[in-house]
C-alpha cells in the first residue's frame, strides 16, 4: 500500500502532465483534415449558402446577404481571410461538406436538420421560436382551442396549431391577413407589426454546419459565435434584414 503513491505518479500523473503540456503548447483540439490551418494558409473560407431568409438572402451569382452571411463575413474578417461563397441546396452543399470541399454551410440550419449525420454542428448560437401573433388590440389568447389561425401553406406549422386545438386557414401571404391570429416565426411576427400572443408553437436551435470532426475549426467558430452572436446583435441583424 505504501508503494501506491509513487505508482500513481508514474502511471497517472506523468501522462496527464505530459498531456497538459502537449495540449497547451499547440492547437488543441486539432482538425483531422486540417481545415482551420488550410483556411488560414489559403486565405479563403469556403462557405456553402442555402437561400433561407432572413439567415441567407439573395441569388447566385451575387454574394448572399442575411444574418448568417453577415456573421460569417465577420468570422472570416477575424481569421483574416476572404469568403468564397457557394450557392446550393442542402443535399448538394452537405455532400460537399462531407467531402471537405466546403468549410461551412449556412442557411437557417437547426439542430433538427436531417443532415446532421453527415456533418458536424456548432453549439446552438441562436434560439428562435414559431409563435402565434395577434393584431394589436386583439383580445389576448390563453389557448388555441377552437381558434382559427392563419398559416402560410408549406411551412409545416399546421400540425403544431392543430395539436394545440386550433383550426387552420391557409393563406398565401401573411401580410394580407385581417384581424386573425397568425402562425409564424417570432421575427416575422414583429416584422408584420403583430403582437406575440405568448403561445409558442415550436423552438428552433440555430447552428452552423462544419465538416464532421474538424474540431479546431469548430472551436474557433464557436468562440466567435459565443462572443459575437448574442441575442441583441442577432435581433438587430434580423430587424435590418426584415426591413429590406
* 158 is an interface residue for other proteins by CB under 8 A: no
Query: How many angstroms separate the CA atoms of 118 and 208, rounded?
Result: 13
Of positions 212, 229, 234, 241, contacts other proteins by CB under 8 A:
212
Closest CA to 36 of 88, 71, 80: 80
* 206 is an interface residue for other proteins by CB under 8 A: no
Q: Which is nearer to other proteins, 58 or 96 (CB)?
A: 96
Q: Which is nearer to other proteins, 29 or 159 (CB)?
A: 29
Of positions 29, 43, 156, 193, contacts other proteins by CB under 8 A:
29
Give how far Cα 18 sits from Cα of 7, 30, 54, 102, 216, Å. Answer: 16, 17, 47, 35, 20
> Binders of other proteins among 30-89, rule CB under 8 A?
30-32, 34
Please list the alpha-helical segments (H only) found in 26-64.
Answer: 35-42
Closest CA to 195 of 139, 238, 136, 152: 136
Of positions 189, 218, 234, 238, contacts other proteins by CB under 8 A:
218
Of positions 122, 187, 188, 229, contacts other proteins by CB under 8 A:
122
Q: Which is nearer to other proteins, 194 or 216 (CB)?
A: 216
First-to-final CA distance of the chain: 74
Residue 149, classed as helix, strand or coil, is strand
Q: Which residues bind other proteins (CB under 8 A)?
A: 19, 23, 28-32, 34, 120-123, 210-216, 218-219, 222-223, 226
Amino acid at each position: 500500500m505504501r508503494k501506491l503513491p509513487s505508482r500513481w505518479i508514474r502511471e497517472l500523473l506523468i501522462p496527464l502532465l505530459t498531456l497538459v503540456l502537449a495540449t497547451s503548447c499547440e492547437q488543441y483540439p486539432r482538425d483531422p483534415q486540417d481545415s482551420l490551418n488550410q483556411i488560414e494558409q489559403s486565405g479563403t473560407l469556403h462557405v456553402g449558402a442555402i437561400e433561407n431568409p432572413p439567415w441567407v438572402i439573395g441569388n447566385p451569382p451575387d454574394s448572399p446577404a442575411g444574418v448568417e452571411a453577415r456573421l460569417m463575413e465577420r468570422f472570416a474578417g477575424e481569421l483574416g481571410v476572404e469568403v468564397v461563397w457557394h450557392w446550393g441546396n442542402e443535399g448538394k452543399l452537405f455532400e460537399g461538406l462531407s467531402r471537405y470541399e466546403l468549410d461551412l454551410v449556412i442557411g437557417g440550419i437547426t439542430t433538427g436538420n436531417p443532415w446532421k449525420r453527415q456533418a458536424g454542428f456548432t453549439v446552438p448560437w441562436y434560439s428562435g421560436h414559431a409563435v402565434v401573433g395577434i393584431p394589436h388590440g386583439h383580445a389576448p389568447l390563453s389557448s388555441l382551442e377552437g381558434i382559427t389561425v392563419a398559416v402560410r401553406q408549406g411551412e409545416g406549422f399546421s400540425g403544431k396549431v392543430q395539436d394545440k386545438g386550433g383550426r387552420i386557414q391557409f393563406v398565401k401571404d401573411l401580410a394580407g391577413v385581417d384581424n386573425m391570429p397568425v402562425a409564424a416565426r417570432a421575427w416575422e411576427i414583429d416584422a408584420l407589426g403583430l403582437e406575440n400572443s405568448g403561445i409558442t408553437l415550436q423552438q428552433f436551435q440555430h447552428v452552423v454546419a462544419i465538416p464532421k470532426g474538424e474540431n479546431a475549426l469548430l472551436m474557433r467558430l464557436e468562440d466567435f459565435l459565443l462572443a459575437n452572436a448574442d441575442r441583441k446583435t442577432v435581433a438587430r441583424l434580423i430587424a435590418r434584414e426584415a426591413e429590406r
